[in-house]
Amino acid sequence: MIDPQLHPLLESAQRVLAQLEAWLPPAPPPTNWAARAYRWRRRGARGWLDAVARIAPMHMDDLRHIERQKAAIERNTLAFLRGKPANNVLMTGARGTGKSSLVRAMLDAFGEEGLRLIEVDKSDMGDLGQIIELIAGRPERYIIFCDDLSFEEGEPGYKALKSVLDGSLAAPGDNVLIYATSNRRHLMPEYMRENLAAQHQADGEIHPGETVEEKISLSERFGLWLSFYPFSQDDYLDIVGHWLEAHGCDPDNIAQARTEALQWALERGSRSGRVARQFARDWAARHV
């Protein structure tokens, strides 16, 4: 029996708990392990894998004039799927040349074989340990993907990524790799003032400052580097033709689009694959 004098206190405590529960974020939903792609979401201190309902399609045949890069990442991904040694991958270079599209194409090509993709924002890279722990023991093979990865001074995700790549006492597991794209080869800004720490010896040898070495060490922890370069005019027009054909344009229509496609690229200041696809959408909408 509860002392009647305690009833008011218990009722007051229940009201306080109800108010606290209203302020707390809801529990994350259970993970849909049947999905092929996820986004890492965070609400307060809680994070979860949010299944992607509709995956943007991208096929290997849609990526043109990056054959060397396609072959390298396909070879690495296949080795990963088969339980063989594989490397984390850093893709750097010109914008719009197919870096992130290549990762999506890997999922399209090998999703049936158990490949899964987890997209993580740069701001959430500090959660890498939590993500790896969540998928530990799963039979699928996971690529943690970060697009446009770069860090500014003092960002916490830098240390977390560096530790997971190569340097932590705890192994990340054999069912996870990290694929990242960046416009910066060394992932962090470098400043002229950092060279003030360099020492010039009599024999001409230069020893960079330790700050520069620290920045370079992050990108060096990716085992496979793939560089992407701007497309030539002919390559750009070939990509335009590919996407126009995909949108139902006939050869005569594609030939007529040549001059306008070049003007489109000139106005955008880029002959990238992304610009080519954007032009193809615009042209097809007006002529098909």
pLDDT above 70: percentage of residues in the chain: 76
- Calpha distance 38→119 (Å, rounded): 6
Residue 20 lies inside a defined structural domain of this protein: no
CA-wise closest residue to 117 among 151, 90, 148, 146: 146
Residues 173 and 252 in one domain: no
Residues 132 and 167 in one domain: yes
Residue 27 lies inside a defined structural domain of this protein: no
Residue 212 has pLDDT above 60, yes or no: no
Are the C-beta atoms of 23 and 69 separated by less than 8 Å?
Answer: no
pLDDT band at 194 (very low <50, low <70, confident <90, very high): very low
Write out pLDDT tens, residues 238-270: 999 999 999 999 999 999 999 999 999 999 999
Residues 282 and 223 in one domain: no
Residues 135 and 249 in one domain: no
Q: Supply the DSSP string of 180-232, one letter for each residue.
A: EEESSTTSS---GGGGGG-EE-TT--EE--HHHHHHHHHHHTSSEEEEE-PPP
- Calpha distance 117→222 (Å, rounded): 18
Residue 97 has pLDDT above 60, yes or no: yes
Residues 252 and 164 in one domain: no
Domain with residue 61: its CATH number is 3.40.50.300
Which range has the top average pLDDT, 171-185, 219-233, 258-272?
A: 258-272
Task: Name the residue type at position 171.
Answer: A
Residue 65's domain comprises 37-190+203-228
Residue 105 has pLDDT above 60, yes or no: yes
Predicted pLDDT of residue 15: 75
pTM for the model stands at: 0.79
Residue 2 lies inside a defined structural domain of this protein: no
Helices (H), 3-62: 7-23
> What are the Cα distances from residue 64, in Å, to 93, 94, 272?
16, 15, 11
Predicted pLDDT of residue 86: 93
Residues 243 and 119 in one domain: no
How many domains are there within the chain? 2
β 141-146/176-182 pair status:
parallel
Dihedral over Cα of 240, 245, 247, 250: its sign: positive
- Calpha distance 191→215 (Å, rounded): 11
